[in-house]
Structure 1
Amino acid sequence: MNAYDDIKKGERGAWISIAAYLVLSAIKLVSGYSFHSSALIADGFNNVTDIIASSAILVGLKISRKPPDSDHAYGHFRAETVAVMVASFIMATVGIQVLIEAVRGLYKGKRVAPDPLSAGVALFSAAAMFVVYMYNRKLAKKINNQGLMAAAKDSLSDTFVSIGAAIGIFGAQFGLPWLDRVAAIGVGLLICKTAYDIFKDTTHRLTDGFDVQQLNDMRSSISRVEGVEAIKDVKARVHGSLVLVDVVIAVDPMLNVSESHEITDRIEENMANSHNILHVHVHVEPGERIENRDSPF
């Protein structure tokens, strides 16, 4: 099944994220403590949470590849979404901890300006994370994988976090050592915001929420299919990396089963070509019958 092959490709992106975070978190934490940079230390802990979050996503992807069984007739695809939600909780917890430590640091009497080399480490990390973001974003769009897209967004957030850390470190060189602490607070806030955004998106998906504009686009596409007289209902929901669509249409009541089935085939083909949706359930109902259409009476 193509969906399972796509999920396996998504696992590759998760592994790349984990490898990048392992290297960068180690570099940032060692450099942060060595160069006395609170912002770089906070950024390092941010990447530690990313390791855990990416690992959770990887586990979710692996579980979602399990085939349907007696308890999961639709498969295990939603394990991916649950894993992303767990990752958001982990990120929020560490983000709050970073904020607490950074605020405490502001009230310490003596502050040491961080070594300028720590800013170079932050900028190098920003460049590396942007490359990871671009790779995972491209792959996530190609295979329509929401878990990998969440990982990509996290990588982009990390890029801005590292740039912010570098700005704080540079500012501290101009007699403002407290600016490094302020940058650490900014890092903590960005971690929490990313966690909230991911949580909000996964909650929407798990409660069968769906984008209204996308649903309207589907309705418009279906209405243009030859043989469809009316659309009585269109519903869609996200099932892991899949989109499941249920459609109720009205057709000419004089059509036989074979002719009605041809219309459903056209709808499925249209949804695949126009919206990249392969899982469509079409229910056909008879439309209003018009007697003797060609008769003047």
Structure 2
Amino acid sequence: MMPEKQNIFKEGQKISLLVGIVTLFLALFKFIIGYLSNSLLLISDAIHSASDLLVIFTASIGIKIASKPPDEKFPYGYYKAENLATLFISFLIFFAGYEIAIEGYKKLYVISSLKIPFIAVLTAIISMIVSYIIAIYICKVGKKWRMNSLIAVGHERKIDAISSIFVLIGIILGFYNIRYIEGIFSIGISILIFRVGIESMRDAIYALMDFSPKYAKERIRNILGKERNIEGFYDLKLRKSGPFLFGEVKIFVKRRFDVIKAHEIAGKIEEKIKREVKEIDFFTIHIEPYKGRYVKVAIPVDNNKVSNHFGRAEKFLIFNVDREEKRVIEKKEIENLYKDRKMRAGLLCAKFLISEEVNALITKEIGEIAYHMLGDKGVEIYDAVDNVEESINKFIKEGMDRLEKPTKVKE
């Protein structure tokens, strides 16, 4: 595992541990004050904070496990352990919500009297402020380090701050002996806890079932769509594993590219995707040769025959072929403006054919510089026969041999 990722995991563990300790003291503080002031609302809110504490420590454990490098048993890493732990914790959260809902229902028929209302109100205010500050901080850190588990914890802290607002209102109204208030607000807090449990369970199940996030797919599609060195792509797949994403895609590269060049293109695309979509941990690119329906072909000609000199040919015959219908659909001749150049005539002709967006060249002779320039742009180069029409027919029937190397070293 890369040192940079290890450092991020270590910092993530420190932050989650720090937030966990603060949340633990806050929960205990609310529970003690709730018990002393006879406020079921504060006690319920303390249990809510405790359920958040479980989520925080689960995230911490998940981050720790995720930092373990892949091995022979788990070649894709230990990321899903976080999802399994989250699924388990979600059941505990549901149980906590159920207990609070039952107690709240019982309180609907009891008018409780607060023993020390001022302390209870102050505790609710402190809880609200501390929870909100923690939420803002941990969300900021999570976004900075691209750790979704920390961002999720930050959202849970926001829910805790909101529940503290309900508690504050409930305590004030309960102080004036308004019937049902404490029970109703306790049930309201239990609903918030159920919401936390449902979201935690949903995220865990989605990840365990290889959920594919739409936003990441769209970003990768945009990256691939702007890539000039490929002719297209398909079968893009992503799956979530803990805080990370694994993915794969099939890309079409021009048949002219050799294996080394094709893998070079795939490697650059993979680096770009990982750079743009930070959650990506593994991304596999499968390479397939591209064969489009329409292809634009050039032949250097002299006196209606294939020229013996690519760069010195009188003109270029350029025609479009429909590979499915196996016929020429358009044909034109263009004068070679560079045939009388003393030097680099082949290079200039290659640049001209690239500007014409030619996909294939049929020639008897080509120099090293022109060959590699055309090859780098994905132009397929074939070995011609003397007769132009015969060369065209052989190309349409896919019976031509590829030129695997230049026919001469110098232009």
The answer to whether the superposition gives a TM-score over 0.5 is yes
The correspondence of residues 189-204 of structure 1 with structure 2, limited to 5 A, is 189-204=191-206
Kindly report the root-mean-square deviation, in angstroms, between the aligned alpha carbons of the 2 structures.
1.9
> 1:87 deviation in Å?
2.3
- CA shift digits 1:15-46 (9 cap, x unpaired): 12211122111111111111121111100111
What is the aligned counterpart of 2:67 among 46, 65, 68?
65
Larger radius of gyration: 2
> 1:149 deviation in Å?
2.4
Identity %: 25
Q: Does residue 158 of structure 2 align to residue 184 of structure 1? A: no
The aligned residue for residue 362 of structure 2 is none
- Whole-angstrom distance in 1 between the partners of 2:215 and 2:138: 25
Q: Does residue 297 of structure 2 align to residue 293 of structure 1? A: yes
- Whole-angstrom distance in 2 between the partners of 1:18 and 1:269: 35
Letter in 1 for 2:286: H
CA gap of 1:259–1:23, structure 2 versus 1, over 3 A, is same
- Whole-angstrom distance in 1 between the partners of 2:281 and 2:69: 17
Contact 1:84 1:150 in 2 (8 A): no
What is the aligned counterpart of 2:19 among 17, 20, 24?
17
Larger CA deviation: 131-140 vs 268-277: 268-277
More helix, by proportion: 1
> 1:225 deviation in Å?
0.9
CA gap of 1:255–1:222, structure 2 versus 1, over 3 A, is same
The aligned residue for residue 135 of structure 1 is 137
The aligned residue for residue 260 of structure 1 is 262
**Unaligned stretches of 5+ residues in structure 2:** 299-317, 320-327, 329-411
> 1:291 deviation in Å?
6.0
Letter in 1 for 2:224: I
Q: What secondary structure, in the 3-state scheme, does the structure 2 residue paired with 1:293 have?
A: strand
Number of residue pairs matched by the alignment: 296
Contact 1:80 1:147 in 2 (8 A): no
Q: Does residue 125 of structure 2 align to residue 123 of structure 1? A: yes
Larger CA deviation: 48-57 vs 118-127: 48-57
Contact 1:122 1:162 in 2 (8 A): yes
The aligned residue for residue 29 of structure 1 is 31
> 1:177 deviation in Å?
4.8
Q: What secondary structure, in the 3-state scheme, does the structure 2 residue paired with 1:233 have?
A: strand
The aligned residue for residue 286 of structure 2 is 283
The aligned residue for residue 112 of structure 1 is 113
Q: What secondary structure, in the 3-state scheme, does the structure 2 residue paired with 1:284 have?
A: strand
Larger CA deviation: 5-14 vs 170-179: 170-179
- Whole-angstrom distance in 1 between the partners of 2:72 and 2:271: 30
The aligned residue for residue 217 of structure 2 is 215
What is the aligned counterpart of 2:153 among 151, 154, 176?
151
Q: What secondary structure, in the 3-state scheme, does the structure 2 residue paired with 1:73 have?
A: coil
- Whole-angstrom distance in 2 between the partners of 1:107 and 1:287: 74
CA gap of 1:4–1:87, structure 2 versus 1, over 3 A, is farther
Letter in 1 for 2:182: D
Letter in 2 for 1:242: F
> 1:113 deviation in Å?
4.4
Q: What secondary structure, in the 3-state scheme, does the structure 1 residue paired with 2:73 have?
A: coil
CA gap of 1:257–1:169, structure 2 versus 1, over 3 A, is same
CA gap of 1:95–1:135, structure 2 versus 1, over 3 A, is same
> 1:167 deviation in Å?
1.0
The aligned residue for residue 86 of structure 2 is 84
CA gap of 1:213–1:22, structure 2 versus 1, over 3 A, is closer
- Whole-angstrom distance in 2 between the partners of 1:266 and 1:124: 51
Contact 2:112 2:177 in 1 (8 A): no
Q: Does residue 56 of structure 2 align to residue 54 of structure 1? A: yes
- Whole-angstrom distance in 2 between the partners of 1:268 and 1:133: 34
Contact 1:68 1:74 in 2 (8 A): yes
Q: What secondary structure, in the 3-state scheme, does the structure 1 residue paired with 2:112 have?
A: coil
> 1:68 deviation in Å?
1.8
- CA shift digits 1:151-199 (9 cap, x unpaired): 2221111111111110111122344153122211111110111111121
- Whole-angstrom distance in 1 between the partners of 2:264 and 2:127: 55
> 1:57 deviation in Å?
2.6
> 1:67 deviation in Å?
2.0
The TM-score normalised by the length of structure 1 is: 0.92
The TM-score normalised by the length of structure 2 is: 0.68
Larger CA deviation: 224-233 vs 268-277: 268-277
